[in-house]
Amino acid sequence: MSIEMKTKYGQIDISTDVIATIAGGAAVDCYGIVGMASKNQLKDGLTEILRKENFTRGIVVRQEEDDVHIDMYIIVSYGTKISEIAHNVQTKVKYTLEQTVGLTVDSVNIYVQGVRVTNV
């Protein structure tokens, strides 16, 4: 599936996998994020942290009419404020997709799937 954008030069189709990869890369750069989790935890395993090539399994990109919505499943670091991390991820993902692809995202929904103690 792909997201369709219409410009004055024509139509652009961007794969949802590309959008998910860009969004996942932006999310894991945020402070307090341990990694991405799978959206199907029972099927894929409860403790699995997704690697860069599997970000699409932890992100759902939906297009409803002209609106684009992104659902992200993340694992946060222990001892951090979850609401602040979620807000930072939302703003960074929106900004990154706007700057790199020119795509305006209407909502970024964050689902915290776990908390991990990181070794410092």
Query: Alpha-carbon distance 77 to 31, whole Å?
Result: 9
| pLDDT (tens digit per residue) in 27-72 | 988 998 888 887 765 454 544 565 655 667 889 999 888 889 999 9
- How many structural domains are present in the chain? 1
Query: Alpha-carbon distance 91 to 19, whole Å?
Result: 15
Q: Report CA-CA distances (Å) from 65 to 5, 62, 69, 106.
A: 11, 10, 11, 12
pTM: 0.82
Q: What is the CATH number of the domain that holds 50?
A: 3.30.70.1350
Q: Which domain holds residue 19?
A: 2-116
Pairing relation of β-strands 67-77 and 107-116?
parallel
